[in-house]
Amino acid sequence: MNFNHLIMTGNRRKQLPVVHGSLIIFLTVFLVFFFVGASPARTVTDETGRRVTVSDKPQRIVSLAPGITETLYALGLDAKIAGVTTFCDWPAAARNKTKIGGFTNPSIEKIVSLKPDLILATADGNRKDTVQQLEKLGLTVYVTNPQDTHGVLQSILHIGEITGQEKAAAILVEKLQWRLNHITRQTRHKRKPRVFFQLGWEPIVTAGRGTLINEVIERAGGVNVAGRDMANYPRYSAEGIIGASPDIIVFAPMVIHDNKFAVVKKFWHKFGEVPAVKNNKIYPIDANLINRASPRIVDAVESMALMFHPEIKYSR
């Protein structure tokens, strides 16, 4: 924004120079560094191999992903969250935080204006050029990159380490690991049902090998019928699913009560030869529960384990 101010000095007037938006950003970043520099700092390696210098105990954190926001809340860092994306909607309190834009297209200027001393991003969703732009402005950006449930637990520990919440992170991870082990002990020797996980509708999309969803299905005691597919998110025809003969179909609408689930069930009822349809084993699951790399991924494992093996017990 350009602005002019006139200063009266006797009968003379002096006009201040025009200040451009880029200069405002520069000055803001300078001030961020000035204050951050006063805090102890250390260099760590993020999950993509980048060397990052972080302050000892960040006070203004910006989250660029819903899963990261959920992790920050789980570690008791809600008071230090300065900004989140428009997709960060859990827990409910996150909806009241300052928004910095979308998941893939956050506002750089808005982020800078929040004077963050730590920005947390994820390699699975945030664009590389977004991280590079923030890095060029001298801002601290730590990137997570979990590939499976073990990776999610490691990310929680790493976030705890760089935010001064190591103890809280260790306690949380210990509890989450116990819950995962509890499910594994109960499902290890059971027959594993064949599972088709339906992500999209028109076209029908599922999760293949190398995806977090595929690993969650396996941890829950199931076999992903698309688990050997080379594509991460392959498309399937109705005929292809019939050929795969799944025992269970899991559908992930963005809202658990979405009327699309009723439409999906009605669609599949035309294919009575599919075991999942014949035995009425078509279940919904909250897409956000299973798509986000956060502590709630263990909730997803437990929920799916109960779908696959209703007789088991779980404890939280």
Residue with tokens 């590389």: 128
Give the CA angle between residues 186, 190, 193 to the nearest 5°.
115
Q: Tokens 């000055």 identify what position?
A: 27
Strand partners for 43: 53
- Partners of 130 in the β-ladder: none
Helix (H, G, I), strand (E, B) or coil at 113: helix
Lowest mean pLDDT: which of 13-27, 62-76, 104-118, 132-146? 13-27
For 106-163, the pLDDT digits (tens) are 999 999 999 999 999 999 999 999 999 999 999 999 999 999 999 999 999 999 999 9
Q: How far is 144 from 46, CA to CA, in rounded Å?
A: 7
Residue 91: per-residue pLDDT = 97
Which pLDDT score, from 0 to 100, does residue 200 have? 75
- Taking only the tens place, the pLDDT of each residue in 214-232 is 999 999 999 999 999 989 9
**For residue range 165-197, what is the model confidence (pLDDT) as tens digits?**
999 999 999 999 999 999 999 999 999 999 999
Which of the pair, 253 or 48, is modelled with greater confidence? 48
Kindly state the average pLDDT of the residues 42-46. Answer: 96
Alpha helices in the chain (DSSP H): 21-36, 66-74, 108-113, 128-136, 149-162, 166-187, 212-219, 238-244, 260-268, 275-278, 287-291, 297-308
Q: How far apart are the C-alpha atoms of 291 and 131, rounded to whole Å? A: 22
Q: Are 134 and 100 in contact (CB under 8 A)?
A: no
Q: What is the token pair recorded at 169?
A: 């992170």
Q: What is the C-alpha separation between 119 and 306, in angstroms, rounded?
A: 37
- 234 contacts: CB under 8 Å, gap ≥ 6: 205, 206, 208, 226
Six token digits for residue 23: 């200069």
Ordered by where they begin, the domains of the chain are 21-144 (3.40.50.1980), 174-308 (3.40.50.1980)
Strands 194-198 and 141-144: unpaired
51 pLDDT more than 90:
yes
**pLDDT classification of 262: cutoffs 50, 70, 90:** confident
First to last CA, the chain: 52
Distance CA 235, CA 215 (A): 19
pLDDT class for 202, splitting at 50, 70, 90?
A: confident
Query: What is the average per-residue pLDDT within 224-251?
Result: 93
pLDDT exceeds cutoff 60 at 25 = no
What does the pLDDT read at residue 34?
46
**pLDDT of 27 higher than 80:** no
Q: Using CA atoms, how far apart are residues 191 and 101, in angstroms rounded to an integer?
A: 45
Mean per-residue pLDDT of the chain:
87
Residue 256 pLDDT class (50, 70, 90 cuts): low
Burial 214-237 (b: 16+ CB within 10 A, else e): bbbbbbbbbbbbbbebeeeeeebe
Q: Is 199 left (phi over 0), alpha (psi -120 to 50) or beta?
A: alpha
User: Helix 66-74 crosses helix 149-162 at what angle (to 10 degrees)?
Assistant: 60
Q: Please tell me the predicted confidence (pLDDT) of residue 76.
A: 98
Banded model confidence at residue 13, pLDDT cuts 50, 70, 90: very low
Interatomic CA distance for residues 2 and 9, integer angstroms: 23
pLDDT for res 121: 98
Which has the higher per-residue pLDDT, 50 or 18?
50
pLDDT for residue 128: 95
Question: Are 108 and 134 a contacting pair, CB within 8 Å?
Answer: yes
> Which band of pLDDT confidence, cut at 50, 70 and 90, is reported for residue 282?
very high
Percent of the chain surpassing pLDDT 70: 85
Q: Tell me, what's the pLDDT at 257?
A: 54
- Cα dihedral sign for 237, 239, 241, 247? positive
Q: Estimate the crossing angle of helix 297-308 against helix 166-187, to 10 degrees.
A: 10
Q: What is the pLDDT of residue 7?
A: 33
